[in-house]
């Protein structure tokens, strides 16, 4: 029997937009003296968030991407982070902001920030839209977090369940139903 599910709204598109604006203000203040900020999105989940965030930043920015994957189509982290695509540019001596959609176990962010720190950026900070602190296994924290959420499986605003629902404009939680 196939698993069917419905999506209940958890964070509206309007509250996300307001929070993104506030985060962008804090980040712009923090990096106010930069000559150029390298904004690094973690594909695929961060593509919506980074698009909205960079348009609110009052800074010269460069946009680059890393593709990392640890969930595949499942609901459970494999705890093994695969880098499928690396940055185009070197970041030694540069200011870097990593943009992530959600920090769950923390393995993805830990792996990626470790890899980037080894390249000796001048400054490296992280902005994550969502944080599920109750699920953390790796010792890592984002510099800026949009929303702390309870342990629910969420989708939308870039986040998928088995590669679906990334195009939802809000954040919703998945609720399974018996067909």
Give me the residue label for tokens 């890899």: 115
**Helix, strand, coil content of the chain in percent (nearest 5):** 20, 35, 40
Q: State the nearest-atom distance from the C-beta of 89 to Mn ion, in Å.
A: 21
Q: Interface with ligand PRP by CB under 6 A: which residues? A: 42, 44-45, 69-71, 77, 100-109, 160
Q: State the nearest-atom distance from the C-beta of 75 to ligand PRP, in Å.
A: 10
User: What, of Mg ion, Mn ion, ligand PRP, none, does residue 15 touch, CB below 5 to 8 Å by kind?
Assistant: none
Which of 71, 123, 138, 170 is close enough to bind Mg ion by CB under 5 A? 71
Give me the residue label for tokens 């593509």: 47
What gap in Å lies between CA 139 and CA 178, rounded to an integer?
Answer: 37
Looking at the annotation, which residues are catalytic? Answer: 104
Instruction: Enumerate residues 33-92 that contact Mn ion by CB under 5 A.
Output: 45
Q: State the nearest-atom distance from the C-beta of 122 to Mg ion, in Å.
A: 31
Question: Is the CB of residue 4 less than 8 Å from the CB of residue 179?
Answer: yes
Smaller CB separation from ligand PRP, 95 or 104: 104
Q: Strand runs (DSSP E) across the chain, as ranges?
A: 4-11, 37-43, 61-69, 82-85, 95-103, 123-131, 144-148, 154-155, 171-177
Smaller CB separation from ligand PRP, 28 or 170: 170
User: What, of Mg ion, ligand PRP, Mn ion, none, does residue 153 touch, CB below 5 to 8 Å by kind?
Assistant: none
């Amino acid at each position: 029997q196939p698993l069917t599910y419905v999506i209940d709204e958890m964070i509206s598109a309007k509250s996300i937009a307001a929070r993104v604006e506030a985060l962008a203000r804090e980040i712009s203040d923090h990096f106010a003296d930069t000559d150029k900020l390298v904004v690094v999105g973690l594909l695929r989940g961060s593509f919506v968030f980074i698009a909205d965030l960079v348009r609110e930043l009052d800074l010269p920015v460069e946009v680059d991407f890393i593709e990392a994957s640890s969930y595949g189509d499942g609901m459970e982290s494999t705890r093994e982070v695969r880098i499928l695509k690396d940055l185009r540019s070197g970041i030694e001596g540069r200011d870097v902001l990593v943009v992530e959609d959600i920090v769950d176990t923390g393995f993805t962010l830990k792996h990626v920030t470790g890899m980037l720190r080894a390249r000796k950026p001048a400054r490296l900070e992280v902005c994550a839209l969502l944080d599920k602190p109750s699920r953390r296994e790796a010792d890592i924290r984002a510099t800026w977090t949009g929303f702390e959420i309870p342990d629910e499986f969420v989708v939308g605003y870039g986040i998928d369940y088995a590669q679906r629902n990334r195009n939802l404009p809000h954040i919703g939680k998945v609720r399974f139903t018996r067909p």
